[in-house]
Amino acid sequence: MKYIDEFRDGDKARHIARLIHQQVRGGRSYRLMEFCGGHTHAIFRDGLVDLLPQEIELIHGPGCPVCVLPMARLDMAIELAQNPQVILCTYGDMLRVPASGGTSLLKVRAEGGDVRMVYSPLDVLALARDNPERQVVFFAIGFETTTPPTALVLRQADQLGFTNLSIFCNHVLTPAAMHAILSDDGPRHLDGFIGPAHVSTVIGSQAYQVFPEQYKKPVVIAGFEPLDVLQAILLLVRQLNAGRAEVENEFTRAVTPQGNLKARQLMDEVFTLRDRFEWRGLGSLPRSALRVRPELAHLDAEERFTFSAGQSRENKACECPAVLRGLKRPSECPLFGNPCSPENPLGSCMVSSEGACAAYYSYGRNR
């Protein structure tokens, strides 16, 4: 298949790996963060770690939308799902994430809550149309990749005059998280980033220019196939050896400098920046998330419903916060594998297909 098979060629992968071996300089390390959980899975799925020299250390970043959502926001969604007037819709991964007290949206559904899994946010419009006597709430999560479809729902709901549909908005911004990681980089000493693929199709490669300029860290945007990731690592090693810090785009078949201008414009029309937003693992970050614009407050679940100010209770033994900051590997969590597993997730990083703990577990990695 075009754009897939040609980026999975084993001979070419070994060739790029040889070039990386030739380029690395003994005596120094190359600490590279793959921001996106999709890259973490690709790296383990395709056995790329085994092709790389020991000087290269790959550190997984916080780019898993399910993982970075803090417990307090999930508890708010649980509250919505327990409201008998509400049909709560969200993506499948969110259903299994543990909330305070070990509950989850799946458990609320088993207790009678009306929780629906959707594949596309546009399904929410049909649900609202078909259930005029109920309040349909879309629990929206994700980075810039999933934000445009939510924006489309908002615009259509406004145009069609829906009064029983609202969005519980938890969309977050990739560059803000990268700023947070680099501002607090002491323990990790990152040398550079493998930049996200899907997010970059929306925000464009120019969005990363600030990182070489402000922090002197290179960013190479990469696709999700094995040759993409290896090529990005090679480009990062070359930059670091030459003392350069630039944005390079390995994923030119999908990412442009400006990104998707239509999607960005639509997002600007319906969302505004929050002053601060709490991230699991990264803490409260300024201007790091979106909320529904005040002009569309009638479609904002945070305006339509009241929430109790209950105290969220994190599982203190779960090391997700340290894993998300790249300070610990999943296998360093005492709960990893037993009792925490994809069948019995005790933290968000074990739930999602983009979570680092799930990647380690699924591909049997212990380092």
Interacting residues toward ligand SF4 by CB under 6 A = 318-320, 323, 330, 333, 335-336, 340, 346-347, 349-350, 357
Give the integer Cα–Cα distance in Å for 72 and 335. Answer: 22
Instruction: Pick the closer one to ligand SF4 by CB: 98 or 223.
Output: 98
Instruction: Pick the closer one to ligand SF4 by CB: 212 or 347.
Output: 347
Give the phi and the psi of residue 344 in degrees, each rounded to 5.
-135, 70
Give me 6's structure tokens.
């040609």
User: Least separation, in Å, of the C-beta of 324 and ligand SF4?
Assistant: 9
Give the integer Cα–Cα distance in Å for 66 and 303. Answer: 23
Instruction: Pick the closer one to ligand SF4 by CB: 135 or 352.
Output: 352
How many Cβ atoms from other residues are within 10 Å of residue 47's Cβ?
11
Instruction: Pick the closer one to ligand SF4 by CB: 67 or 178.
Output: 67
Instruction: Pick the closer one to ligand SF4 by CB: 92 or 342.
Output: 342
User: Least separation, in Å, of the C-beta of 325 and ligand SF4?
Assistant: 12
Residue nearest to ligand SF4 (CB): 347
User: Least separation, in Å, of the C-beta of 35 and ligand SF4?
Assistant: 18
User: Least separation, in Å, of the C-beta of 188 and ligand SF4?
Assistant: 17
User: Least separation, in Å, of the C-beta of 358 and ligand SF4?
Assistant: 8
Instruction: Pick the closer one to ligand SF4 by CB: 63 or 347.
Output: 347
Whether residue 330 is preceded by a cis peptide bond, meaning omega within 30 degrees of 0, is no
User: Least separation, in Å, of the C-beta of 76 and ligand SF4?
Assistant: 21
Give the integer Cα–Cα distance in Å for 367 and 219. Answer: 24
